[in-house]
Amino acid sequence: MLELRTCTLDELEMPLVEPFETSFGVERRRRFLIVRLESTQGDVGLGECVAARDPLYSGESVTTARWMIETYLAPLLWREGLLSPSEFSRRAAAWRGNPMAKAAVELALWDLWARRHHRSLAEELGGRRRRIEVGVSVGIQPDVPALVRRVGEYLEAGYGRIKIKVRPGWDVQPVAALRREFPDLRLWVDANQAYPPSAGSEIRRWAGRYGVDQVEQPFPEHALAAHARLVRGAPFRVCLDESILDLPTLEAALGMRALTSLNVKAGRVGGLGAGRDLARAAAGRALPAWVGGMLETGIGRAHNVALASLAPFTFPADLSASDRYYAPDLVEPPFVLGPRSTLAVPRGPGIGVEIVESVYRRHLRRHRELRRKTP
C-alpha cells in the first residue's frame, strides 16, 4: 500500500499574456493553488486548483480551497495508506460542495498513480487518442475591430474553431463583424450566464442570423427552463457549463431537454473521474461533450488534454497552446498547436510534463508543506 509523505500547497501568481475579459470581469493576473503529493516511495503527483482569487465565477476561491485541503482533504489522505483517486472522491463526498478543492487533490492523485504504474495519465484514464482537436477562447475585446484582428491572428496561427465571450451589448455587432470578415468561421459564443431568462428570442434571432454554431450558458445556472425554451427550434447547439455540477444535475437537464451539448471542466466538477463519468453519461444519450479550460497553467492543461483523449469527447476542446495564456508557462515541454488545430497528448509517465523550477520559483507567493502527524 502506498503511503503519503507530504502534501505541499503552493500559491503562485502569474500575469496573463493579455487581459481576459468575460461577463464576470477582467483578469490580468491569475492566482493559482498547486497541490503536490509525494509518497514514501518517492512518487510525485501534481494537481492545479481552478478556483480564482475571488469567488466570482463560483463560490470557491484560492483561500477557501486551501483551507478545505488543509482542514479536511489532506488529513483524509493520511488514513490507511494513500487512497486511489476514485476512493478519495468517494470518501471526500462526505463533505458537501468544494468541488474545486476536491478536484485539485484528485488530479494530483491521478498523476501520482499514473507515474507509479509507469503509464501516461491518458492511458490510466482509458484515453486512446494521440492528438486532440482544440479551439481557442477569445475574451471581450476593447472594440469590434480589435476582436476581428485578434480572431484573424488565431486563424492564421492554425486554430480551427473560435469561441468568443459575449454579454448584453457585446453580441450582435461582434458576431456580425466576424461573420462578414470570416464567412466560413466555425464560431461559438459563451455568455457565462450573462443574459436574463427572458432574452431567448433575442439570442435565437442574432445567433441564428449570423450562423453561430453553439451558444454556451446564456442564462443563470438554475434557469434550466429558459435553456430548454431556447433549445426548441434553435438552429444552433445550446451548451451547458455552470448548470452541470454532477450526474444528477446532468440528468435533470437532459430530462428537461435543456441542452444539446456539454462542456466538461474537470477542475470545476470535482476531478477527472467526475468529468469522465459526465462524458460517458452524455455519450449514452447521444449528447456531444467537450473539455473546457479555466486559464490553467501547463499543469492543469496536461490533465485536461489527457481527459480530452477519451472517446466520449467529440467536440474541439478549449485547450489552446501554452503560449495562449502564459509566456513562459510553468512546464516543459510546452503544448504547441499542431496540424489541423490539434495538441499532442503527452505519452510520458503521469501528466507527461515537468515543472520548470526557475519559472515556478519566480512566481511562488506562498508555500506550505503538510506532513502526517506522528503520535
Residues 6+ apart with CB under 8 A from 323: 17, 329, 334
Residue 346 sits at φ, ψ, to 5 deg, of -55, 140
Residues with catalytic annotation?
A: 165, 265
Q: C-alpha grid cell for residue 43?
A: 512518487
Q: Would you give the DSSP letter of residue 114?
A: H
Q: C-alpha grid cell for residue 44?
A: 510525485
Calpha distance 260→287 (Å, rounded): 6
Calpha distance 85→83 (Å, rounded): 6
Residue 159 sits at φ, ψ, to 5 deg, of -75, 135
Calpha distance 219→222 (Å, rounded): 8
The H or E element containing residue 284 is helix 272-284
Q: Count Cβ neighbours within 10 Å for each residue of 162-181 and write b for 16 or more, e otherwise.
A: bbbbbbeebbbebbebbbeb
Asked whether 2 and 43 are in contact (CB, 8 A), the reply is: yes
Asked whether 174 and 144 are in contact (CB, 8 A), the reply is: yes
Radius of gyration of the chain from its Cα atoms, rounded to whole angstroms: 20
Calpha distance 189→164 (Å, rounded): 5
